[in-house]
Structure 1
């Protein structure tokens, strides 16, 4: 028997849909060094999945003498420049699964802590109508790991979080999706997600199908009912 489709699938962007995390980290290092500080790879990893305003405050603590909104704008502009120069670096299997979801009529939302202007640039570069909804970090009152971004997405789509599946690659994002009540699939990329509480961990989206997504939702529902 085929498992029923989710009411919606909610996608994180950086590191989950597209491999932009290295772009962010590459933008952070010269910014800190410009103000005489040092920035390590480990420092960058600690910021993966963080809301941009929170990340900007961390950079201020590392010596960047700019206002929060100036830091956010600078980092966003640098990542967008890389996207324009290099194109959209999709994570393995992400574009294919997203297309299959759309072909089967499953509503989709992009839920990212990047600025909405950057998220919309990426969605416009996808060669099919990929998302019903885009929520950026500047569209929410509380950043991940707060559940607000995913709750806002579900409310806008008119779906119960428990009937949705969320894809995440970061600690903060996974915590946000779980707290919102979604069925959360972790796809580790820059940081491990063991022990965070994701309902399932997939090493990659490559080869995954809509049937796999539906099966995860069905399994979690059965566990909850039991």
Structure 2
């Protein structure tokens, strides 16, 4: 019997679809240093997966004397400049899997804490029609790790969260997607995802196909159904 495919696959952007985290770090360091502060790699890792306003407040704590909005705008502009110079730095296998999903007719959404103008820049640089919906940081009612961005994407796509698969690379992103009710795959990049709640951890997206996504989703749904059945019909 054919396994039912997910109604949609939802993608985080920075660190999951594209390897832009080094661009963010490269923008943060000179900004902090311009105000006489210092910024370590470990501190930069602490911002991975955070909403940009939360990140801006942390940078203010290092001495950056700019408003939250000004910091967000500055960092976004710097990362967009890097993108314009280098193109889209897809993570291994991400473009191929995204194209496979589109060819199979599965809905796709981009769920990112980056600003919409940056998300649209990345989407516009992809050489095929990649996403049915984009939920960006300035669209979200509450940022990750709240479930709101994923719930908003599901509503826009007209799908139930439990019928979707989400792909994330950060603990905050995983918590957001899991809290929404989606089946969640973690693909680590900069930080460990151990204990962050992913329903599966894949080392890479390279070589992954629609069939892998479908098998994962079907197994996850089967485990949930078995658990519900066990609650409804306890052993005698």
1:146 equivalent in alignment to 2:180: no
Q: Give the greater-gyration-radius structure (CA).
A: 2
| 1:29-68 correspondence runs (5 A) | 29-68=29-68
The answer for unaligned runs of 5 or more in structure 2 is 227-236
Alignment match, 2:185: 185
Q: For the residues of structure 2 that align with 1:69 and 1:201, how far apart are their CA atoms?
A: 34
Cα offsets for 1:72-111 (capped at 9, x unmatched): 0000000000000111100000000000000000000000
CA contact (8 A) 1:99 1:130 kept: yes
Shift of 1:141: 1.6
Alignment match, 1:127: 127
TM-score if structure 1 supplies the norm length? Answer: 0.99
Name segments (4+ residues, structure 1) moved above 6 Å.
none
Shift of 1:54: 0.4
Cα offsets for 1:37-93 (capped at 9, x unmatched): 000000000000100000000000011000000000000000000000111100000
Q: For the residues of structure 2 that align with 1:22 and 1:206, how far apart are their CA atoms?
A: 20
Alignment match, 2:22: 22
Q: For the residues of structure 2 that align with 1:115 and 1:123, how far apart are their CA atoms?
A: 12
| 1:157-176 correspondence runs (5 A) | 157-176=157-176
Alignment match, 2:110: 110
Shift of 1:5: 1.1
CA contact (8 A) 1:110 1:133 kept: yes
Q: For the residues of structure 2 that align with 1:57 and 1:94, how far apart are their CA atoms?
A: 31
Q: How many aligned positions are there?
A: 226
The answer for unaligned runs of 5 or more in structure 1 is none
Q: For the residues of structure 2 that align with 1:198 and 1:170, how far apart are their CA atoms?
A: 10
TM-score if structure 2 supplies the norm length? Answer: 0.95
Q: For the residues of structure 2 that align with 1:213 and 1:131, how far apart are their CA atoms?
A: 17
